[in-house]
Structure 1
Amino acid sequence: MSTLIRPPPVDPSKSAIENVLELTQLSDIDPDLFTNTRPLWHPPGARGVYGGAVIAQCLSAAQRTVSKNFTIHSMHCYFVLAGNSEIPVIYHVEHVREGKSYATRTVQARQRGKVIFTTTMSFVREDSGGQVRVEHSTKMPVVPPPMEGNDDLRFPQGAEGPFQSQKVDILNNDSPHPHVKKTRQWIKARGEISPAGGHEAHLSALAYMSDSYFIGTIARVHKLWRYSSARAGNSKSTIDEEVLKKLLAMDDESLKRVPGIRDHDIQRLQRLRNGEDLSRETKPEVGMMVSLDHTIYFHNPREFKADEWMFTEMETPWAGDGRGLVFQRIFSRDGKLIASCVQEGVVRLKQPTDSKL
């Protein structure tokens, strides 16, 4: 069973992302215990549930244990084990500190008694910085605005996904140096987040979306192939075969709207569609890519809406030793920096002969 308690009907007064992230408080056991109200999504081909959902639900749980005048400003997370979408998640919030200006919480997400995810969060009291402050912020780059009614496909969720996105061309994509490239997209929660959700719902939605194609930045700037077919070699496919079949059935214009798929991906899908044997190709291919940790610094946390377009820009300063590091900045539509994120993950290439890696 994927939830501890039978899920209630979807609440039409809430946005899709609010329903996805809904928590049930287990007050009869412990007021600091929560569980997922609805099943968590397991992306096809992924090792476990979508990490953004666990990040966001940990934040939602912690926000329910602090005073309304305290707001999240940072969270530092570690992915410990892959989450199983068939098992309920139990979130335990620990009150680490109750200060006048700052409060600290840790949250552990557990399945069958094992920790699958842990995070430490710091909350700050509103207006605790004083009347005179040190202030500066980086500027949002000039990019084409989002186009209403022309959303990218949130593949494989499609129109059913809880948020929308529109990709922007990779900056410096022709450079031979991956570290100077920047991947960019517009994102927003689908529909309107309910007034009852308050700023907390917008922050949880932002946390959910922050994990979208994050560590995948490294594959994109290196132009690594991620979509192989079992018939294109003896090695196991790096993506679910059903997803690959859907990709192969799409026309080129539809493929261009799928976030994470670039021109070199489309070219190889075209070749697979034409029945070419790609088993002898030597181009590097992703063998394993999974997040290890995830950090979010929230700026101006009450001055944005996650159901309005936000611009994200990602770059990777380093990759090596089977890992990679990615930085992400998130801006509101009007150019205000609202979050800075960091993620490190395992990024291993398929090895042609050694299957022990």
Structure 2
Amino acid sequence: MNDALKELLDLLDLEQLELDIFRGRSPKERIQRVFGGQVAAQALVAGGRTVPEGRHVHSLHAYFIRPGDPSVPIVYNVERVRDGRSFTTRRIVAIQHGKAIFTMSASFHISEPGVEHQAAAMPPVPHPDALPTFTERAENLCIDNPAWHDWLTRERPVDMRYVTPLMGESPDVPALKSPETTVWFKYDADLPDDPLLHVVLAAYASDYTLVDTVLAAHGLAWGTPDVSGASLDHAMWFHRPLRADDWFLYAQESPWSGGARGLARGHMFTPTGDLAVSVVQECLIRVGDARPGR
């Protein structure tokens, strides 16, 4: 387990301040605001800790309201909306400086049988062991900003193996415009058999590359001059158990962008091709000097 993953697991171990009130912190960060995947993961931890045993999250719907400040803690207030016979609903609000920066509604369900089908098919891709690490790929990115290059190549909590090209990886890659991104993810550690932890880590990873998919459709990437963006909302559906300490394939595509917004959706597959998670996100994308506030 590398130091970045150790820090992430520590960040997910929220401090309980009072019944249904939790506090989380952020890593020291200079390049970006609080990572959206971190806020979503911590909010899911807070909500999950108030749920009766034997109920597992099957969906979440979240809105990113304000940029998170990495220099101060985040307080998570959990509202117990409903505890039914089969479903439990929680609403979580993340607060900084007295204002909501993020809201999430999450639904938890007991395990029960039902009809099954899967129409989504895992795309044919190379095995992750045959692909270079993200750090190895990022070393070759054509980036003029040294601070941004250092941020991209630093140690990460999750091993990422891109199947699709990275924008700016070589002089030829910027000419490629594709609304698709496919990445293998894996947390390199023997994690405990806690179902909530594995879905929380999937939620954390889910926010890494969705906005990139919208940018790639236009031949753009983070670090490109005059490009700014942010996650606006995020929805996930958990169909079956997924092990975050085993490889899972995240196949993403962007069906639309316009009006300074873009839509991206993704499927997470187990190594055997089973669909485990579906994700949809709308993001903010602005290009140019004139950028109003959020």
TM-score under structure 2 length normalisation: 0.84
Q: Secondary structure at the match of 1:290?
A: strand
The superposition leaves residues 98-156 of structure 1 with CA deviations (integer Å, 9 ceiling, x where unpaired) of: 100111000000012100000101111111xx4x5243342211100101794221862
The structural deviation recorded for 1:221 is 1.9
Q: Report the Cα distance in structure 2 between the residues aligned to 1:225 and 1:25, rounded to whole angstroms.
A: 38
Q: Secondary structure at the match of 1:90?
A: strand
2:143 alignment partner in structure 1: none
Which stretches of structure 1, 4 residues or longer, exceed 6 Å deviation after superposition? none
Structure 2 counterpart of 1:296, one-letter code: M
TM-score under structure 1 length normalisation: 0.70
Picking from 208, 215, 239, the partner of 1:299 is 239
1:314 alignment partner in structure 2: 252
Picking from 177, 186, 190, the partner of 2:188 is 190
Structure 1 counterpart of 2:45, one-letter code: S
Please, what is the CA RMSD of the aligned residues? 2.8
1:265 alignment partner in structure 2: none
What does 1:62-141 align with in structure 2 at a 5 Å threshold?
62-127=47-112, 130=113, 132-141=114-123
Q: Report the Cα distance in structure 1 between the residues aligned to 2:40 and 2:221, rounded to whole angstroms.
A: 28
What does 1:162-311 align with in structure 2 at a 5 Å threshold?
162-169=157-164, 181-195=179-193, 198-224=194-220, 226-228=222-224, 238=225, 285-286=226-227, 288-300=228-240, 303-311=241-249
1:75–1:295 CA contact under 8 A, matched in 2: yes
The structural deviation recorded for 1:160 is 3.0
1:17–1:190 CA contact under 8 A, matched in 2: no
Cα gap change, 1:134/1:147 in structure 2, threshold over 3 Å: closer, same or farther?
closer
2:8–2:157 CA contact under 8 A, matched in 1: yes
Q: Report the Cα distance in structure 1 between the residues aligned to 2:118 and 2:221, rounded to whole angstroms.
A: 39
Gaps of 5+ in 1: 1-9, 229-237, 239-284
Structure 2 counterpart of 1:316, one-letter code: S
Identity rate of aligned residues, in percent? 32
2:34–2:67 CA contact under 8 A, matched in 1: yes
User: Of Structure 1 and Structure 2, which has the larger fraction of its residues in strand?
Assistant: 2
1:272 alignment partner in structure 2: none
Cα gap change, 1:150/1:177 in structure 2, threshold over 3 Å: closer, same or farther?
closer
> In terms of Rg, which structure is larger?
1
Picking from 118, 124, 130, the partner of 1:142 is 124
The superposition leaves residues 61-120 of structure 1 with CA deviations (integer Å, 9 ceiling, x where unpaired) of: 111111121000100000000000111100011000110011100000001210000010
**Aligned positions, number:** 272
2:22–2:76 CA contact under 8 A, matched in 1: yes
1:324–1:344 CA contact under 8 A, matched in 2: yes
Q: Report the Cα distance in structure 2 between the residues aligned to 1:139 and 1:68, rounded to whole angstroms.
A: 33
